[in-house]
């Protein structure tokens, strides 16, 4: 009766429709508000850096997959594009193109493909790229343009100090410094990397990710909560050296890292309990580096270190079993 024979397979026979690309593009959509703000404050530089980062990441992934690993390139799943976008948001908007290319190669080549492609890497690829650049090109990576309205400058942008560098001076020497008001920090009128300046834009992205069930609240809340408590205690103990916790929450890459980088699927733990431990670890490490270390920003290293601890967390934090302890 049927000239085309029936399909057979083991159950289940329906699928919920979720896919890797849906999740990756969802995160990209969540990053749009931050991108728009960066376009406003850094103008041409922001556009060039973001575009180049994405293009280079996609290019390297395609070439490495096809010619070195000899397997089918899977650019359509959007993860290379996402890595490109996140890498860009971690860079200052006056970074030259050749440095961006090296960063993309480090991110995709070392951070992702050398481990075996998506799903097999231990460290967040965008973070791998950023740290590689930070250590290789410390001068270019730590001079940030001053935010203006739609500047048409790129490498030649006027640079200035950022909140974090001011906070570091205060922590080391105890001299009072000029800190921007909360309004500027919320709306992005402060120096920093492309994606980290506007708290409101990032929080909008967070709400979108939660609504689309792409991430859960556990990691970001654990990180932010830990930072708040730890820096709060230090501020109460010694307000001369340390700023209040709200400044910490709104400055640097903390929000960007907590919401978008630390929550990367591949490099974060699989159980809720594990995620909280991971988040607390990141919070503690970030605060230690920010307050007592020599770098102004500790977020990247904190996440990077905790990525390495994730497999161990996964061994000890098993999901809650039905009928078990």
Partner 1 sequence: MILIAVIVLGFIGALSAILLFAASKKFEVVEDPRIAQVQEALPGANCGGCGFPGCSGFANACVKADSLDGLLCTVGGAPVMTKVAEILGKEVKVAEPKVAVVRCNGTCSVRPRTNHYEGAKACSIASSLYGGETGCSFGCLGYGDCVAVCKFDAIHINSETGIAEVDEEKCTACGACVKACPKKIIELRNKGPKSRRIFVSCVNKDKGAVARKACTNACIGCGKCEKECKFEAITIENNVAYIDYTKCRLCRKCVDVCPTGAIHELNFPPKVKVEKVESKTETAAGSNPAPTSKPEVSE
Partner 2 sequence: MLKTFRIGGIHPPENKLSAGKKISVLAVPKQVIIPLGQHIGAPAQAVVAKGDVVKVGTLLAKAGGFVSANIHSSVSGKVAKIDGAVDASGYKRPAVFIDVEGDEWEESIDRSDTLVKECTLSAKEIIAKIAEAGVVGMGGATFPTQVKLSPPPGNKAEVVIINGVECEPYLTADHELMMEKGEEILVGVTLLMKAMDTKRAVIGIENNKRDAIKHLTELSASFPGIEIMPLKMKYPQGGEKQLIDAVLRRQVKSGALPITAGALVQNVGTVFAVYEAVQKNKPLIERVVTVTGKSVANPSNLLVRIGTPITQLLEAVGGVPEDTGKIIGGGPMMGKALVSTEVPITKGSSGILLLTKAESVRHEYSDCIRCAKCVDVCPMGLNPSLLMSATEHSNWDMAEKNFIFDCIECGSCTFTCPAYRPLLDYIRLGKGTVMGIIKSRKSTK
If one asks whether residue 77 binds partner 2 (CB under 8 A), the answer comes out as: yes
What is the size of the binding site for partner 2 (CB under 8 A)?
Answer: 39
Q: What is the 3-state secondary structure (H, E, C) of 15-54?
A: CCCCCHHHHHHHHHHHHHHHHHHHHHHHHHHHHHHHHHHH
Candidates 95, 118, 133, 167: give the one binding partner 2 (CB under 8 A): 118
In the complex, least distance from residue 272 CB atom to partner 2, rounded to whole angstroms: 8
If one asks whether residue 74 binds partner 2 (CB under 8 A), the answer comes out as: yes
Pairing relationship of beta strands 144-145 and 159-160 according to DSSP bridges:
antiparallel
Looking at residues 132 to 191 of the shown chain, list those that interact with partner 2 (rule: CB under 8 A). Answer: none
Q: How far is CA 246 from the centre of its chain?
A: 20
Candidates 136, 138, 211, 320: give the one binding partner 2 (CB under 8 A): 320
Packing angle, helices 20-63 and 79-89, rounded to 10: 80
In the three-class reduction of DSSP (H, G, I as helix; E, B as strand; rest coil), residue 145 is classed as: strand
What is the size of the binding site for partner 1 (CB under 8 A)?
Answer: 6
Looking at residues 4 to 63 of the shown chain, list those that interact with partner 1 (rule: CB under 8 A). Answer: 5-10
Q: How far is CA 118 from CA 59, 109, 288, in A?
A: 15, 12, 31
If one asks whether residue 265 binds partner 2 (CB under 8 A), the answer comes out as: yes
In the complex, least distance from residue 64 CB atom to partner 2, rounded to whole angstroms: 16
Whether residue 12 is preceded by a cis peptide bond, meaning omega within 30 degrees of 0, is yes
Given the complex with partner 2, which of 198 and 223 has the nearer CB atom?
223
N-to-C CA span, the chain? 54
Given the complex with partner 1, which of 5 and 181 has the nearer CB atom?
5
If one asks whether residue 117 binds partner 2 (CB under 8 A), the answer comes out as: yes
In the complex, least distance from residue 230 CB atom to partner 2, rounded to whole angstroms: 27
Task: From 93, 90, 89, 79, select the one nearest 27 (Cα to Cα).
Answer: 79
Candidates 36, 120, 160, 176: give the one binding partner 2 (CB under 8 A): 120
Given the complex with partner 1, which of 14 and 152 has the nearer CB atom?
14
Question: Which of these ranges, 51-59, 135-143, 144-152, 317-325, lies near partner 2 under the rule CB under 8 A?
Answer: 317-325
Query: Which among partner 2, partner 1, none contacts residue 19 (Cβ within 5 to 8 A by kind)?
Result: partner 2
CB-CB contact of 117 with 61 (8 Å): no
CB-CB contact of 110 with 128 (8 Å): yes
Candidates 140, 153, 165, 271: give the one binding partner 2 (CB under 8 A): 271
Phi-psi region of 174 (alpha: psi -120 to 50; beta: other; left: phi over 0): left
Query: Which among partner 1, partner 2, none contacts residue 12 (Cβ within 5 to 8 A by kind)?
Result: partner 2
Residues in contact with partner 1 by the rule CB under 8 A: 5-10
């Amino acid at each position: 009766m049927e000239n085309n024979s029936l399909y057979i397979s083991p159950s289940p026979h329906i699928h919920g429709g979720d896919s890797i690309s849906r999740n990756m593009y969802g995160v990209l959509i969540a990053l749009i508000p931050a991108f728009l703000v960066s376009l406003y404050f850094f103008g041409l530089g922001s556009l060039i850096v973001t575009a180049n980062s994405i293009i280079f990441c996609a290019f390297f992934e395609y070439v490495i997959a096809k010619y070195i690993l000899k397997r089918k390139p899977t650019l359509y799943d959007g993860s290379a594009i996402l890595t490109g976008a996140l890498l860009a948001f971690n860079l200052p908007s006056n970074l030259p193109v050749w440095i961006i290319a090296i960063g993309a190669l480090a991110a995709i080549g070392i951070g992702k493909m050398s481990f075996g492609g998506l799903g097999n890497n231990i460290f967040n690829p965008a973070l791998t790229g950023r740290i590689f650049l930070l250590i290789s090109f410390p001068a270019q990576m730590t001079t940030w343009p001053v935010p203006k309205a739609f500047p048409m400058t790129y490498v030649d942008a006027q640079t200035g100090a950022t909140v974090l560098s001011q906070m570091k001076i205060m922590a080391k020497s105890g001299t009072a410094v000029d800190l921007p008001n909360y309004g500027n920090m919320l709306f992005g009128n402060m120096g920093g990397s492309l994606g980290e300046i506007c708290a409101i834009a990032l929080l909008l992205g967070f709400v979108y990710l939660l609504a689309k069930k792409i991430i859960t609240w556990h990691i970001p809340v654990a990180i932010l909560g830990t930072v708040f408590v730890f820096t709060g205690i230090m501020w109460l103990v010694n307000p001369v050296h340390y700023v209040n916790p709200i400044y910490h929450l709104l400055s640097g890459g903390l929000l960007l890292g907590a919401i978008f980088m630390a929550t990367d699927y591949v490099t974060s733990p699989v159980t809720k309990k594990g995620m909280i431990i991971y988040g607390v670890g990141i919070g503690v490490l970030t605060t230690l580096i920010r307050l007592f270390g020599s770098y102004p920003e500790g977020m990247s290293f904190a996440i990077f270190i905790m990525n390495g601890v994730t497999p161990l967390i996964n061994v000890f934090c098993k999901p809650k079993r039905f009928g078990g302890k």
